[in-house]
Amino acid sequence: MELNETFNKAVEASRALNLTDVSRIDAVLLALADAAEAKMEFITKAKVRIHYEVMGQGRPLVFFPMYDRLMLTPERIRGIAADIRNVASLPSPLGRVLDEVVRPNGMKITKISVPFGVIGVIYEARPNVSFDVVSLCLKSGNACVLKGGHDAGYSNEAIVKVIREVLQAHGMDEHTVTLLPADRAATAALLGAVGYIDLLIPRGSKGLIDYVRDNARIPVIETGAGICHTYFDAAGDRAKCADIVFNAKTRRVSVCNALDCLIVHRDRLGDLPAVCGRLAAKEVVIYADSDAYAVLDGRYPARLLERATAESFGTEFLSYKMSIRTVSSLDEAIAHITRYSSKHSEAIISENPAAVRLFQQSVDAACVYANVSTAFTDGAQFGLGAEIGISTQKLHARGPMALRELTSYKYLINGNGQTRA
């Protein structure tokens, strides 16, 4: 698929955006938030492509992660609009002086933050990402090229139509935001858009992220899959653990910060029925190792309790499923996390400061929690506004990627005729 002309229009739009006053961009964002709410019916009625023959199986659609990720309800639209307004209220990440020095010859060197230029984002069944990406890219001075999945195609088209109407109403180039066709040819073109796309960010499953990383010819930041663990330490508080496990697992099962594996110290096995009790009401299937299974057998619904296999660990379930692993020490818990973690979000439940300190120092992840649900790994919850993704790599950005992570920098050198010998 030949998309170079499309990409070139995005480049031209990015140059104009770079010269746009911050107050004008903020006005556009506020108008976009208003438009999202005003066009709520138009957006929420966009058809969703769901394979009912695969997803039906006699269970309500709300139990299927794909359905949850695809749905844009009025409540979610209002939340999106609030996030956009929040982004508009934040300080601009552009033009920040990162460093400044005057050399002995009088030459002044200033390092300042600048936009990347054009950011490409490839994502699967999450149409809300379109709003998140656009608001952050506009605020950070970047044009964006969006490549959504087939299932959310209609929703993405409706959203981008609303966005472009707002851009045009404010005299801005509509190519500041571009939506590519939801097909593989467009994906291939985006991955090879050398000279057009300055940065590519994949959001979605491990398979998508791995494919983009392995095949892209342009710079990529991985927003990795979330294989998240919570460790219930020997010195952990049972009530806190029960609340945190329930929240981290069931608040939204389809998001990357959801709990996948509960690691429990052997001394706390007797607390498992109390810790896991509320999960049954949400139909959570538990894959328990032999020790945990022995404790839960007869005390957790049999239809929801299965014996763990090797595949039960290191899996991002994205559904009402989780595993339980028993360990004999904090070191063993850390070793399990080291082996299976995707380096996204990990947590410890403990009242022992030394255990907490060792856990947070030893665990290699973007976000390491103590007595807090991993559900908080989110740009808005961190006070950063909406986020474009959670980076699990260490180069350039790590953790929630918000405004500052969507900027690069350049050096401004000013002098008075200096020449080099």
| Three-class DSSP labels, 356-419 | HHHHHHHCCCCEEEECCCHHHCCCCCCCCCCCCCEECCCCCCCEECCCHHHEEEEEEEECCCCC
Quote the tokens at residue 267. 């001394």
DSSP state, residue 300: B
Closest by Cα among 254, 393, 249, 385 to 323? 249
Segment 233-251 mean pLDDT: 98
How far CA 331 is from CA of 84, 92, 202, 328, 336, in Å, comes to 43, 43, 33, 8, 9
- pLDDT reported for residue 332: 98
Q: Using only the alpha carbons of the chain, give its radius of gyration.
A: 24
Model confidence pLDDT, tens digit, residues 371-416: 999 999 988 898 887 788 888 888 888 999 889 999 999 999 999 9
pTM: 0.82
- pLDDT reported for residue 316: 92
Q: Which residue has better confidence, 55 or 119? A: 119
Question: pLDDT class for 132, splitting at 50, 70, 90?
Answer: confident
Model confidence pLDDT, tens digit, residues 285-319: 999 999 999 999 999 999 999 999 999 999 999 89
DSSP state, residue 173: -
Rounded-to-5 percentages of helix, strand, coil across the chain: 45, 20, 35
- Host H or E run for residue 115: strand 108-115
Residues 21-51 as b/e (b if ≥16 CB within 10 A, e otherwise) read eeeebbebbbbbbebbeebbeebbebebebe
Q: Is the pLDDT of residue 242 over 50?
A: yes
Segment 343-366 mean pLDDT: 97
Q: Is the pLDDT of residue 126 over 80?
A: no
Residue type, position 301, single letter: P
**How far is residue 12's CA from residue 118's CA, in Å, rounded to a whole number?**
10
- pLDDT reported for residue 51: 43
Question: pLDDT class for 52, splitting at 50, 70, 90?
Answer: very low
**How far is residue 145's CA from residue 136's CA, in Å, rounded to a whole number?**
13
- Host H or E run for residue 97: strand 97-102
Evaluate whether 277 touches 314 at the Cβ level (below 8 Å): no
Evaluate whether 356 touches 240 at the Cβ level (below 8 Å): no
Question: pLDDT class for 64, splitting at 50, 70, 90?
Answer: low
Q: Which of 147-156, 213-222, 254-263 has the lowest mean pLDDT?
A: 147-156
Angle (CA) 358-226-65 rounded to 5° is 140
Question: pLDDT class for 70, splitting at 50, 70, 90?
Answer: low
Structural domains in the chain, sorted by start: 4-223+388-414 (3.40.605.10), 228-376 (3.40.309.10)
**How far is residue 95's CA from residue 201's CA, in Å, rounded to a whole number?**
23
Closest by Cα among 356, 361, 360, 346 to 237? 356
Question: pLDDT class for 125, splitting at 50, 70, 90?
Answer: low
Mean residue pLDDT of the chain comes to 91
